[in-house]
């Protein structure tokens, strides 16, 4: 069951952990971005988003190296996210950890994200990706979320 299917369950989990906090998909447990995350967070099984910042902010994480090996993976995830979430703000957080000298890979990612109304945030270091998540979480009470 997707965590979003039950508002009571979502609110119960969010109340358990202190602000600012996020829900993290269990499959991201070994992701270096998640490892040193300073925010309060809780791992949730069967969550569509990699990081659920608030009820209106969803984040998918993608390593460019992984995308190069499995290019269809993110297309399927973006389609699922667009179909199953009512979130206003959908973000693809992309770690540039391999060469894209001519920019074709990142351009294709941007076009794919535009199709699903997803904002792309590119980062070149794990700490930068972590900072984006922390900034999004701290900003969720503003007009973002």
For residue range 79-132, what is the model confidence (pLDDT) as tens digits? Answer: 998 888 677 889 999 999 888 778 788 899 999 999 999 999 999 999 999 999
At residue 11 the predicted structure's pLDDT band, cuts being 50, 70 and 90, is: low
Match 């270096």 to its residue by tokens: 32
CA distance 127 to 98: 16
CA distance 86 to 71: 25
CA distance 19 to 28: 20
Match 């999004």 to its residue by tokens: 136
């Amino acid at each position: 069951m997707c965590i979003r299917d039950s508002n009571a369950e979502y609110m119960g989990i969010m109340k358990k952990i202190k602000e600012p906090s996020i829900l993290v998909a269990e499959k991201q447990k070994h992701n270096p971005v998640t490892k040193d995350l300073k925010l309060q967070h809780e791992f949730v099984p069967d969550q569509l988003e990699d990081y659920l910042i608030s009820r209106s902010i969803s984040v998918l994480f993608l390593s460019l190296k992984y995308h190069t090996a499995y290019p269809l993976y993110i297309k399927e995830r973006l389609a699922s996210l667009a179909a199953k979430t009512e979130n206003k703000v959908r973000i693809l957080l992309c770690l540039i950890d391999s060469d894209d000298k001519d920019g074709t890979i990142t351009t294709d990612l941007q076009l794919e994200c535009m199709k699903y109304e997803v904002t792309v945030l590119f980062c070149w270091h794990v700490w930068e990706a972590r900072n984006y998540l922390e900034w999004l979480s701290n900003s969720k009470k503003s007009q973002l979320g």
